[in-house]
């Protein structure tokens, strides 16, 4: 009789391998490889008999008329794997569903149950860390699937489908194809667009102050102080100016450059006295342990990891048993974790660093789910970062160190110190001034021995450094040594980084922390946002999309409304609301069934009716236009979003917006300059053969020369030719233009009678003879190469790939491969490579400014996309299939013909026999 075993199903193979090592021979551990089914992506995935119910254009996969019932499709790539799971289940005595302990994990477990239809006992196995003790405990104390969590996740999925499938077509019709709208992604995009609008409206203001150097009269010390008060008035700083460039606080003194320089000269002859010395003790408490959002923020600040990269590294650490579950809103640590932290602090830093009582942290996150612990090292005794670094990859080692330090520091004693504030009074030529300087001394470092929390403001990091001042006493006379005027300019609001966007979404209660990484990745992938260094810059397409949504669907991108939806989903998870009525109110409106439910999100009309009513009102031209102002002649200059991207328009003149130009950088002056440059036309002369004008123009793909004009009906296009790289519109001559227009040049005729041509193509200069082509080294060779030289080049073997590009720049080492990163020039522009992976520079990246961190990020993004899918093979397979089909049809036809002939013969034979019989 065969020995039966229990089947344990988790999401990932890595997680399966780790758990298998803890469970022994009585269990078979297998992964589902993520989600096994989802709503259909296209109508063809819905069976014919169900198409009328589930394959409507607007609500693909959801029956909105019958309780918003979803229809799920098993992923085609997973069908074989499902068969494997079913086979393993037949031989099992029990099924343990060990997916993650959150809404998504609960949903995956439910889908597995629905598809596998097990006939053995089913148990839900949950844990928040993958250690032997945690896994054994989970096996001993299973539970049932929590249908409330499943309902909340399914409601979220259906809601997102209805939102996206109803609004995205509006964007296709009114902005451009292939755009998408999303319940959270559109709100995240709006946050970034609003910040860019503030930057565009910002007016810079200038102000000056003074930095003074002093020495003690006994020569025993020096200090530097800043001017703070002038003639009894506080000196203006950047905070005193509004975004319009004007003072928003009256009664402050403003110094300009001339005033600051004059004051500096006057103070050179002044007298200075210490007017006050104030000492104050300070105490600083450690930050709470990590939850998902704070981990993403700190990984961005300290490690320069984008949110997705941080979450990938965290996922691998969790699945390998090094940290607890990384999708959590909790800052709580278990008693076991508190004991482990306090033991490690005692061992590493000594008893003085262990507080008398373990710390607890209140969670201030809106809509927090306290389902898990904080993110911390796994187990009862924590491995040190040095030990883990020997077992994992570079990214994982860095992230583990961050998690370990933050967790340990959260349970350490406070940092204690003393601040020393000194004010210095001065008088010179009737002017009275006050200067100030602050010193800082750390008396006991406490948790700072382990960890210092990062900040979006680099200056804030300086607060953690000690600054010592010489001994000073009130009324002490100081000698002024040097007075330096310093000019400053107010700065526009800083653009969002991934870290600050995550914090903004969290504070607004929009979305869930576990989804922030994918939200940011989506808006970048869709072209709504691009990165300039670490800053998130909105595209002009994003401006058009957000303008449309704000004007015609304001509730759907309203922050409070979106956060309210999160509250409702939490209510469903808590069993306080039902999915069907809630979705009906959102999609069909408050007049639909279930509108009386008191927990409903109130809307004037449902999404379906709202889109139908608004579609005709939307003026696509107005939505896709961003006015910049008028030129000196009163002509309006506008940025328009077209099907091929953003372009500038002034009367009949158009000009494309260069890649890498941020919206706040496209001022009216810059726009006029681009229009005039791209509409630049220089008449070179007349072609002596045709008598037509030859002009040099700027085009979207570079400068070129043109012979004559297009015909009135535009059927005849004038001959054109691109300028060589060594030429410009201003320098090209008529003779050079005519030579370019004469291409291709016939170099000569080979012995076999075939002509050899020299051309300038998309990828540079080359030779052509029949179907054979070879690249030339320089553009000048097109006109200089002789037939013997050309024959020699054509005789060379054809190169597979291009000549190895020489590095333009060498950066630091890639954290994944450990190889040096190089910047090279390629066929499609500059790219970075570690020798194995190549990644093109994105919009906003430049060869001059790219850093090792940004290059490593680009390489990781390229790795994540996986190998390129070649279409040729598909085409070849289709051709092969067509040939097979054609052969089958031909065989069938032949078989039919033979059958007909056989029948005819039989019929003919019987007639002959009959006739013979008659005779």
Catalytic residue numbers read 325
Whether the Cβ atoms of residue 243 and residue 235 lie closer than 8 Å to each other: no
Tell which phi-psi region holds residue 34, choosing left (phi > 0), alpha (psi between -120 and 50) or beta: left
Coil/strand/helix, residue 400: helix
Distance CA 851, CA 531 (A): 13
Our CA angle for 269, 275, 279, nearest 5°, is 135
- Give me the count of residues in the chain: 919
721: tokens are 């030719």
Q: Are 28 and 92 in contact (CB under 8 A)?
A: yes
- Neighbour tally for 420: CB within 10 Å: 18
CB atoms within 10 A of CB 52: 10
Going by C-beta distance under 8 Å and a sequence separation of 6 or more, which residues neighbour residue 729? 680, 682, 696, 697, 698, 703, 723
Do residues 115 and 74 lie in contact, with contact meaning Cβ atoms separated by under 8 Å?
Answer: yes
Strand order in the sheet with 702-707: 681-686, 693-699, 702-707, 720-722
Residue in 44, 293, 19, 294 with CA at minimum distance from that of residue 132: 19
CB 696 within 8 A of CB 729: yes
Asked if 470 and 216 count as a contact pair (C-beta separation under 8 A), the reply is yes
DSSP 331-375: ----HHHHHHHHHHHHHHH-GGGS-SS--------TT---SS--B
Q: Which tokens sit at 269?
A: 């002859």
Check if the beta carbon of residue 267 is closer than 8 Å to that of residue 433: yes
* Dihedral-angle region of residue 489 (phi above 0 means left; psi in -120 to 50 means alpha; beta otherwise): beta
Say if CB 809 and CB 849 are below 8 A apart: no
C-alpha span between 758 and 778 (Å, rounded): 12
Order the strands of the 645-650 sheet from edge to edge.
625-630, 636-642, 645-650, 653-656
Residue owning tokens 């910047």? 823
The CA-based diameter of the chain, rounded to the nearest angstrom, is 153
Q: What kind and span of H or E run contains 673?
A: helix 668-678
672-705 burial code (b ≥16 CB/10 A, e <16): bebbeebeeebebeebeeeeeebbbbbeeeebbb
Query: Using CA of residue 401, residue 407, residue 408, residue 414, what is the dihedral sign?
Result: positive
Q: In sequence order, which residues have a C-beta less than 8 Å from that of residue 592 and are 6 or more positions away?
A: 584, 585, 606
Query: Which SS3 state, helix, strand or coil, does residue 173 take?
Result: helix
Question: How many Cβ atoms sit within 10 Å of the Cβ of residue 782?
Answer: 22
Distance, in Å, from the CA atom of 159 to the CA atom of 522, rounded to the nearest integer, reads 18
Rounded to the nearest 5 degrees, what angle is found at the Cα of 369, between the Cα atoms of 363 and 374?
60
CB neighbours of 411 closer than 8 A, spacing ≥ 6? 286, 333, 338, 341, 342, 345, 354, 355, 358, 359
| Three-state SS at 838 | strand
Closest CA to 542 of 45, 158, 804, 187: 187
Q: Check if the beta carbon of residue 236 is closer than 8 Å to that of residue 265.
A: no
Q: Which of 778, 841, 761 is nearest to 808 (CA)?
A: 841
Q: Find all residues with CB under 8 Å of 460, minimum gap 6, and list them.
A: none
């Amino acid at each position: 009789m065969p020995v039966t075993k229990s089947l344990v199903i988790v999401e990932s193979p890595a997680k399966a391998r780790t758990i298998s090592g803890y469970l022994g021979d009585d269990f078979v551990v297998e992964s589902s490889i993520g989600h096994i089914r989802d709503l259909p992506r296209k109508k063809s995935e819905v069976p014919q008999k169900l198409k009328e119910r589930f394959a409507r254009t607007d609500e693909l996969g959801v029956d909105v008329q019958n309780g918003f019932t979803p229809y799920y499709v098993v992923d085609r790539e997973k069908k074989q794997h499902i068969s494997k799971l079913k086979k393993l289940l037949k031989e099992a005595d029990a099924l343990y569903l060990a997916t993650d302990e959150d809404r998504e994990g609960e949903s995956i477990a439910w889908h597995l149950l629905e598809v596998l239809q097990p006939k053995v006992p089913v148990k839900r196995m949950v844990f928040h860390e993958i250690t032997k003790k945690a896994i054994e405990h989970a096996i001993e104390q299973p539970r049932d699937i929590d249908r409330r969590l499943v309902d909340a996740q399914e409601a979220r999925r259906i809601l997102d489908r209805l939102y996206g499938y109803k609004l995205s077509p509006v964007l296709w019709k009114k902005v451009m194809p292939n755009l998408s709208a999303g319940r959270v992604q559109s709100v995240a995009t709006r946050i970034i667009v609003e910040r860019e609008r503030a930057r565009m409206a910002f007016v810079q203001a200038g102000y000056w102050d003074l930095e003074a150097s002093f020495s003690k009269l006994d020569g025993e010390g020096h200090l530097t102080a800043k001017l703070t008060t002038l003639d009894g008035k506080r000196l203006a700083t950047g905070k005193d100016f509004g975004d319009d460039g004007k003072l928003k606080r009256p009664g402050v003194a403003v110094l300009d450059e001339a005033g600051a320089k004059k004051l500096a000269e006057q103070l050179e002859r002044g007298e200075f006295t210490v007017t006050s010395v104030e000492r104050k003790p300070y105490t600083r408490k450690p930050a709470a342990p990590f939850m998902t959002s704070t981990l993403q923020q700190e990984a961005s600040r300290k490690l320069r990891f984008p949110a997705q990269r941080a979450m990938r590294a965290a996922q691998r650490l969790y699945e390998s048993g090094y940290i607890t579950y990384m999708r959590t809103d909790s800052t709580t640590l278990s008693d076991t974790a508190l004991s482990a932290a306090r033991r490690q602090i005692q061992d590493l830093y000594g008893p003085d660093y262990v507080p008398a009582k373990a710390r607890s942290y209140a969670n201030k996150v809106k809509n927090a789910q306290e389902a898990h612990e904080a993110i911390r090292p796994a187990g009862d005794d924590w491995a040190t970062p040095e030990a883990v670094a020997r077992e994992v990859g570079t990214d994982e080692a860095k992230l583990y160190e961050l998690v370990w330090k933050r967790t340990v520091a959260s349970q350490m004693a406070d940092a204690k110190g003393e601040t020393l504030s000194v004010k210095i009074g001065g008088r010179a030529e009737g002017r009275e001034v006050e200067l100030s300087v602050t010193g800082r001394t750390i008396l006991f470092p406490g948790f700072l021995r382990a960890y210092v929390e990062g900040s979006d403001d680099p200056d804030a990091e300086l607060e953690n450094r000690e600054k010592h001042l010489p001994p000073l006493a009130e009324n002490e006379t100081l000698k002024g040594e040097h007075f330096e005027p310093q000019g400053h300019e107010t700065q526009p609001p800083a653009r969002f980084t991934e870290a600050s966007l995550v914090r903004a979404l969290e504070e607004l209660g929009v979305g869930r922390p576990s989804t922030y990484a994918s939200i940011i990745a989506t808006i970048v992938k869709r072209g709504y946002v691009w990165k300039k260094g670490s800053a998130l810059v909105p595209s002009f397409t994003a401006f058009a999309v957000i303008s449309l949504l704000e004007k015609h669907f304001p509730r759907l991108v309203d922050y409070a409304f979106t956060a309210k939806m999160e509250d409702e989903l939490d209510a469903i998870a808590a069993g306080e609301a039902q999915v069907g009525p809630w979705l009906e109110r959102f999609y069909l409106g408050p007049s639909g069934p279930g509108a009386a439910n008191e927990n409903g999100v109130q809307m004037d009309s449902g999404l379906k009716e709202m889109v139908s009513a608004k579609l005709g009102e939307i003026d696509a031209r107005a939505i896709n236009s961003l006015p910049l102002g008028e030129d000196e002649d009163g002509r309006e200059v506008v940025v328009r979003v077209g099907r091929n991207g953003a372009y500038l328009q002034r009367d009949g003149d158009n000009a494309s917006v260069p890649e890498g130009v941020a919206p706040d950088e496209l001022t009216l002056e810059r726009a006029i300059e681009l229009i005039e440059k791209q509409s630049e036309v220089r008449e070179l002369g007349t072609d002596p053969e045709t008598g037509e004008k030859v002009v040099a123009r700027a085009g979207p793909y570079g400068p070129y020369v043109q012979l004559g004009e297009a015909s009135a009906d535009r059927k005849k296009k004038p001959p054109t030719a691109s300028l060589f790289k060594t030429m410009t519109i201003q320098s090209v001559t008529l003779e050079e233009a005519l030579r370019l227009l004469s291409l291709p040049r016939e170099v000569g005729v080979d012995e076999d009678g075939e002509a050899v041509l020299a051309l300038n193509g998309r990828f540079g200069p080359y030779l052509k003879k029949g179907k054979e082509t070879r690249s030339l080294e320089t553009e000048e060779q097109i006109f200089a190469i002789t037939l013997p030289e050309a024959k020699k080049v054509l005789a060379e073997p054809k190169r597979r790939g291009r000549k190895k590009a020489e590095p333009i720049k060498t950066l630091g080492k890639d954290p994944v491969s450990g190889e040096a990163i190089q910047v090279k020039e390629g066929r499609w522009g500059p790219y970075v490579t570690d020798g194995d992976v190549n990644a093109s520079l994105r919009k906003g990246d430049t060869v001059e400014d790219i850093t090792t961190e940004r290059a490593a990020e680009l390489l990781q993004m390229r790795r994540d996309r996986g190998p390129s899918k070649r279409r040729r093979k598909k085409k070849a397979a289709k051709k092969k299939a067509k040939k097979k089909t054609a052969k089958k049809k031909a065989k069938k036809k032949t078989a039919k013909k033979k059958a007909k002939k056989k029948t005819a013969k039989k019929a003919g034979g019987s007639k002959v026999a009959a006739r013979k019989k008659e005779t």
